[in-house]
Amino acid sequence: MKTIKGPGLFLAQFAGDEAPFNSWGAITKWAAECGYKGVQVPVWDARLVDLDKLATSQSYCEEWVGEARDNGIEVTDLSTHILGQLVAVHPAYDAWVDGFAAPEVQGKPAARTEWAIEQVKKALTASKNLGIAQHVTFSGGLSWPFIYPFPQRPQGMVETGFDELARRWRPILDHADECGVDVCYEIHPMEDLHDGITFEMLLERLDGHARCNMLYDPSHYVLQCLDYLENIDIYAERIKMFHVKDAEFRPTGRQGVYGGYQPWVDRAGRFRSPGDGQVDFGAVFSKLTQHDFDGWAVVEWECALKHPEDGAREGAQFVKDHIIRVTPHAFDDFAGGDIDDATNRKLLGIDT
């Protein structure tokens, strides 16, 4: 067995225009002061990183990583969540997500898709340059608007959508393979990959591509009423990354899974800081450890109630308290002894 690394912190929810969240040096120093050992970096945020330089300049990579290391922080992985989102966008969401893209491709869906594909590839090259073997992203969604099966979906429509999703992602995954980097899709609502079955639908179309993997985040499964512990048993070989994010599902006589269009704080299902929701993280860490997961436990703060800085500081200690330092031997080794084959056969009553 292997020991999970951590704690790490995803910086996307913290980067901002005010100190210490507006520069790479300041935010990594702050993360270390909160108790973190690593950070997961959103590559679209120019306040923290220059993606073009990460992908093309080894000296920039060394300087960038070195600045974080001087502050006591390791770069755990790079994130292209919103760039992956743009790889596959249903037209209903065009105006909604256009702001994620570069100005020159906004309002141009086809050009935006190609731009997003190249950006994700660039981030994979950057991961290789940094010596990081996993990368987190979203799949995007062509079929998501049709998630509810009424009116009845035209026969073959969803299959056609997943065929196209696979067509767009295959060259990215092939590039990831050249880079030696696993692409880890965060299984997430609005994405076509929102549960295990949809992940399998893409994986089948990609012929079981070795670089097609998962980021495990139990909070999204709580809100879907999905068995988040069995999910680990089923997909352990494909789970390469881990977000520590909590959630709670509190259905009432007025609302349930769909939330009634309410704001996060009033929804039946809402995200919480680690330890404040319903996820059994003791069981989660045990399952992942049992399955030899040795990646980072990265806190993703998204809480409807708690201040983010409080959530960050508490989250670091929460992860520390849950990481299991694996045992080097069995607890009952003291009762064992040196046994040879002849003794074993004798004990079994063989050849007596």
User: Parallel, antiparallel, or unpaired for β 212-216 and 182-186?
Assistant: parallel
Domain membership of residue 352 (yes or no) is: no
pLDDT, average across residues 269-276 = 98
Lowest mean pLDDT among 32-41, 217-226, 273-282, 342-351: 342-351
3-state secondary structure of 249: strand
- Quote the number of domains for the chain: 1
Domain membership of residue 293 (yes or no) is: yes
- Residue 202 is predicted with a pLDDT of 98
Going by C-alpha positions, the residue among 68, 37, 25, 29 that lies closest to residue 316 is: 37
Q: Is residue 334 pLDDT above 70, yes or no?
A: no
Q: What is the rounded CA–CA span in Å between residue 116 and residue 278?
A: 35
Q: pLDDT > 90: what percent of the chain? A: 93
- DSSP letter at 154 equals P
- Rounded to 5°, the CA angle 63-38-79 comes to 80
- Residue 225 is predicted with a pLDDT of 97
pLDDT band at 352 (very low <50, low <70, confident <90, very high): low
Domain membership of residue 36 (yes or no) is: yes
Domain membership of residue 136 (yes or no) is: yes
Residues across the chain: 352
Within 10 A of 72 (CB to CB), how many other CB atoms are there? 14
> Which DSSP helix (H) or strand (E) runs through 169?
helix 157-179
Q: Is residue 332 pLDDT above 90, yes or no?
A: no
Q: Is residue 128 pLDDT above 90, yes or no?
A: yes
Which residues are bridge partners to 89 per DSSP? 141
Could you tell me the CATH number of the domain that includes residue 279? 3.20.20.150
pLDDT, average across residues 137-144 = 98
- DSSP letter at 89 equals B
Read off the pLDDT of residues 45-83 as tens digits, 9 standing for 90 and up: 999 999 999 999 999 999 999 999 999 999 999 999 999
- Residue 151 is predicted with a pLDDT of 94
- Residue 269 is predicted with a pLDDT of 98
- Residue 330 is predicted with a pLDDT of 73
Q: Which residues contact 133 (CB under 8 A, 6 or more apart)?
A: 127, 180, 181, 182
Rg of the chain on CA atoms, in Å: 22
Q: Is residue 335 pLDDT above 70, yes or no?
A: no
- Residue 252 is predicted with a pLDDT of 98
**Containing structural domain, residue 297:** 5-347
